């Protein structure tokens, strides 16, 4: 087994596209987005006799609570690479972390909770992270061998009615031909949404960079819902490696009784079917019974479209030096203050 620095984007993305789960957060392009906001991507590839069997994209985060590496929805390891790479990979990540004077590594694996035991991570090395890095309860629709009629049938009745009502109310959905030009409108709506729901947003630089890198590759679409001459809702959907993800959404409270967001989502689902995508992800929802959660406000909306829950393994930390425990204490306090 050889773990080395990755240098070939085409081979990296080709490998990612052939896996059971192909999270765009581990794509080469997403690493460039993070580079734009000051987080250096560190890309490692795992080879066995020159065959690529795994990839791992980590990001260097210079946070006030402590410099650390994060691995968003990775590593991604092929079936034939499991039980062979995990220990070597953790050692390689620790080496990278020490070179950069990091105090810990935070890994948010895209591994179903019930499958974690099939990976031979040295679990004694890990500590459950106080806070999640990315969504760990994913709501999605399996698009394989299905039709628009079947998806509509599996929706909540009220959701179907609101999709139809939006059209009758005069809502129209467009796909931005110049998403960078339309970014100001999205950001304005997103800021209003953030204030209304009290969540911590991505930065405007992040939004712009994501569109700038993915749109030329035809791997993202900005949707806009129009009503009475105004854009009243907008979203940024990612579609790469056969998966569509509802990554960012925004709307105005001014026309809150107009169900524009329902028609917007339905349009994106229809587009995913036309592309032949395998999966439509609504991204995160709140765990059952948890009211104080970042995704609590959108959970009912997302579930209304029908679908399935994918519960991922919880985020894990690998301490690199003793400074980690100060960070851990601070994050536990912040978690307590947030009430979850």
What is the spatial distance between Cα 147 and Cα 21, in angstroms, rounded to a whole number? Answer: 22
What is the spatial distance between Cα 97 and Cα 94, in angstroms, rounded to a whole number? Answer: 5
**What's the rounded mean pLDDT across residues 10-30?**
96
Let me know if domain 2-134+313-338 sits in CATH 3.20.20.70.
Answer: no
What is the spatial distance between Cα 12 and Cα 273, in angstroms, rounded to a whole number? Answer: 26
**Does the CA dihedral 286-290-293-299 come out positive or negative?**
positive
What is the spatial distance between Cα 235 and Cα 283, in angstroms, rounded to a whole number? Answer: 13
* Cis geometry, peptide bond prior to residue 324 (ω within 30 degrees of 0): no
Q: What is the mean pLDDT of the chain?
A: 92
Q: Is 292 exposed, middle or buried (0-12, 13-18, 19+ CB in 10 A)?
A: exposed
The two three-digit tokens of residue 135, written as one number: 């969504």
pLDDT, residue 46, reads: 94
What is the spatial distance between Cα 118 and Cα 314, in angstroms, rounded to a whole number? Answer: 15
pLDDT, residue 196, reads: 84
Check whether 194 has a pLDDT greater than 90. no
For residues 126 and 104, the model is more confident at 104
Check whether 199 has a pLDDT greater than 80. no
Which listed CATH number (3.40.630.30, 3.30.70.3000, 3.30.70.20, 3.20.20.70) goes with 138-311?
3.40.630.30
What is the spatial distance between Cα 248 and Cα 190, in angstroms, rounded to a whole number? Answer: 9
Which pLDDT tens digit goes with each residue over 204-235? Answer: 999 999 999 999 999 999 999 999 999 999 99
DSSP code, position 207: H
DSSP SS3 for 36 = helix
**What's the rounded mean pLDDT across residues 299-306?**
95
**What's the rounded mean pLDDT across residues 113-135?**
79
DSSP SS3 for 216 = helix
Q: Count how many Cα atoms sit within 13 Å of the Cα of residue 71 in the half-sphere of its side chain.
A: 29
DSSP SS3 for 52 = strand
What is the spatial distance between Cα 141 and Cα 307, in angstroms, rounded to a whole number? Answer: 4
pLDDT, residue 290, reads: 76
Check whether 123 has a pLDDT greater than 70. no
The H or E element containing residue 325 is helix 324-338
CATH 3.40.630.30 domain extents, the chain: 2-134+313-338, 138-311
Contact 166, 263 (CB under 8 A): yes
């Amino acid at each position: 087994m050889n773990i080395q620095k990755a240098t070939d984007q085409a081979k990296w993305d080709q490998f990612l596209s052939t896996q059971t789960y192909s999270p765009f957060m581990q794509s080469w392009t997403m690493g460039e987005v993070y580079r734009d906001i000051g987080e250096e991507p560190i890309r490692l590839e795992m080879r066995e006799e020159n065959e690529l069997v795994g990839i791992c994209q980590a990001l260097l985060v210079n946070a006030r609570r402590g410099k650390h590496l994060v691995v968003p929805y990775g590593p991604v390891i092929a079936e034939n690479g499991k039980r062979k790479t995990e220990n070597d990979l953790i050692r390689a990540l620790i080496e990278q972390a020490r070179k950069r004077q990091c105090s810990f590594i935070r890994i948010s694996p895209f591994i179903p909770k019930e499958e974690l035991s099939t990976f031979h991570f040295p679990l004694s090395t890990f500590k459950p992270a106080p806070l999640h890095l990315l969504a760990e309860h994913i709501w999605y629709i399996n698009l394989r061998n299905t039709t628009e009629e079947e998806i509509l049938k599996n929706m909540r009745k009220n959701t179907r009615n609101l999709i139809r009502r939006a059209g009758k109310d005069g809502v129209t959905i467009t796909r931005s031909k110049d998403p960078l030009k339309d970014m100001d409108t999205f950001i304005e709506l997103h800021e209003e949404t953030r204030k209304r729901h009290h969540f911590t947003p991505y930065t405007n630089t992040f939004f712009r960079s994501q569109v700038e890198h993915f749109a030329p590759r035809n791997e993202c679409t900005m949707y806009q819902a129009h009503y009475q001459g105004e854009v009243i809702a907008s979203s940024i959907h990612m579609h790469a490696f056969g998966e569509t993800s509802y990554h960012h959404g925004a709307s105005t409270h001014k026309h809150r009784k107009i169900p524009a967001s329902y028609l917007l989502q339905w349009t994106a689902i229809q587009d995913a079917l036309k592309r032949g995508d395998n999966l439509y992800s609504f991204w995160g929802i709140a765990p059952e019974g948890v009211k104080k959660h970042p995704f609590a406000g959108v959970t009912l909306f997302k579930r209304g479209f029908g679908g399935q829950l994918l519960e991922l393994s919880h985020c894990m930390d690998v301490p690199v030096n003793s400074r980690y425990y100060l960070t851990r204490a601070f994050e536990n306090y912040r978690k307590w203050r947030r009430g979850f």
